[in-house]
Amino acid sequence: MIWLNNAATSFPKPQAVRDCVNACIDHLPCSDGRSSLLARDALEDARCIAASFFGVRKAERIHFLSGATEAANLIISGLGIGKQAVLATSLEHNCILRPLFSRLERSQIGIVHPDESGRIPSSAIPSFAGAKFFFLNHSSNVTGAVQDAKGLFAEAHRLGMACILDFSQTAGTFPVDLDDIEADVAFCACHKGLLGVPGCAVMYLRDSSLVKPSFFGGTGEHGDVLDMRNSGVFEVGTMNQAAVSALSCGISFIQELGTEKVFGSVSSKVMHIKMELSCLSRIRLASPLEGPCTNAVSFVIDGISPSDAAFILRDSYQIIVRSGLMCAPLAMKDLGLVEGAVRVSPSYLTSDSEIQSFIDAMKDISRSISRSIE
């Protein structure tokens, strides 16, 4: 099987990541702050590695959680949004949209839409000047288009909004400098472009007082303190040390190869796929050809539903892709794709021969459709 669903989770993992996870399982268990300094060292090492990789000058701004969905819910709960208006984009993943729409009245939520390039214009932000919080998906998991987060946040800050960035799709596939972007809060999953394993997310807080903890438990420290509402402590319970260590190894793998080399390789593969697909009849790209993008390339095939197209690719060509709404219903609505789309997403470790196999399969499908219509 050929795995081309790396925007969901990366595969294969680097050998160093696999070895790291095995080592965590094979060695004696140690729990952060409870029985050994080893776990504390590993956790702090990972924090420093992640901080450096994402342009964060103070490592204590980095926190580890179990996943991007947990981070998104914790952030939205911890911001203490009452009756204030919030602004989000139509490009947001359901990990943001569902907590917002489940907690707030529809009238409280402003939605800003991208232009034809798939990007949010900063000129649209002043129309929502009453909002107190701005949620931005750094890159759509449907189109792959990367947003000008720094410019958008500068405009939102000018209007008094706190800015929250979901960089799950850009982390590991596109340069991210959180301090330079001036995000107030940010989060990402670690099992996608960062080449880690599920069970870990990075949460960034420029000022820890902005978000209040919303779940509590053991921390290994301050065991006599019972009221933790204002503690600024977010890493509670037993940490997923294997996943946190895997994150360190994934980032180190990228850094050792060279970030420019890794990002450039992914970009080159994505552009090659886009150019090939754009030349095929009966296939329509839903991702832009111009501007900065991550590894997500979405498209539709005339006369074939996205789910059927994904089944054909898997059953007839042994290629795994993603299909459907991709947890981004508003983005699909913007694109006019009621049934969603098909998404292909390579990684640095996707071989040229695997990409060529996908392109050959799409050419074959395109020819078959054209013949059947004739």
pLDDT tens per residue, range 45-83: 999 999 999 999 999 999 999 999 999 999 999 999 988
Which pLDDT does position 228 carry in this prediction?
67
Which pLDDT does position 31 carry in this prediction?
56
| Least trusted range by pLDDT, from 13-27, 321-335, 355-369 | 13-27
User: Which of the listed CATH numbers 3.40.1190.20, 3.90.1150.10, 3.40.190.10, 3.40.50.2000 matches domain 2-9+258-365?
Assistant: 3.90.1150.10
Over residues 291-312, the pLDDT tens digits come to 999 999 999 999 999 999 999 9
Q: Where are the beta strands (DSSP E) in the chain?
A: 2-3, 62-65, 86-89, 109-112, 133-137, 162-166, 185-189, 201-205, 283-285, 297-301, 319-320, 322-324, 341-344
Which pLDDT does position 215 carry in this prediction?
82
CA quadruple 53, 55, 57, 63: dihedral, nearest 10? -60
Return the higher-pLDDT residue of 260 and 230: 260
Rounded to the nearest integer, the mean pLDDT of the chain is 93
In the chain, domain spans: 2-9+258-365, 15-257
Which pLDDT does position 40 carry in this prediction?
57
Q: Is the pLDDT of residue 28 over 70?
A: no
Average pLDDT over residues 211-235: 76
Over residues 88-98, the pLDDT tens digits come to 999 999 999 99
Fold match, 2-9+258-365 / 15-257: no
Q: Is the pLDDT of residue 231 over 80?
A: no
Return the higher-pLDDT residue of 39 and 268: 268
Rounded Cα distance, 319 and 311, in Å: 9
The contacts of residue 354 (CB under 8 Å, 6+ apart) are 2, 4, 346
Q: Is the pLDDT of residue 218 over 90?
A: no
Q: What is the pTM of this model?
A: 0.93
Q: Is the pLDDT of residue 36 over 90?
A: no
106 SS3 class? helix
Q: Where are the beta strands (DSSP E) in 172-320?
A: 185-189, 201-205, 283-285, 297-301, 319-320
| Least trusted range by pLDDT, from 254-258, 360-364, 365-369 | 365-369
The CATH number of 15-257 is 3.40.640.10
Which pLDDT does position 65 carry in this prediction?
95
Q: Is the pLDDT of residue 37 over 50?
A: no
In single-letter form, the type of residue at position 303 comes to G
Return the higher-pLDDT residue of 29 and 8: 8
Which pLDDT does position 82 carry in this prediction?
85
Which pLDDT does position 69 carry in this prediction?
96
Look up residue 11 and give its two tokens: 């595969």
Return the higher-pLDDT residue of 373 and 289: 289
Which pLDDT does position 370 carry in this prediction?
77
Rounded Cα distance, 171 and 188, in Å: 7
Rounded Cα distance, 195 and 190, in Å: 7
Sheet of 133-137, strand order: 62-65, 201-205, 185-189, 162-166, 133-137, 86-89, 109-112
Rounded Cα distance, 294 and 91, in Å: 14
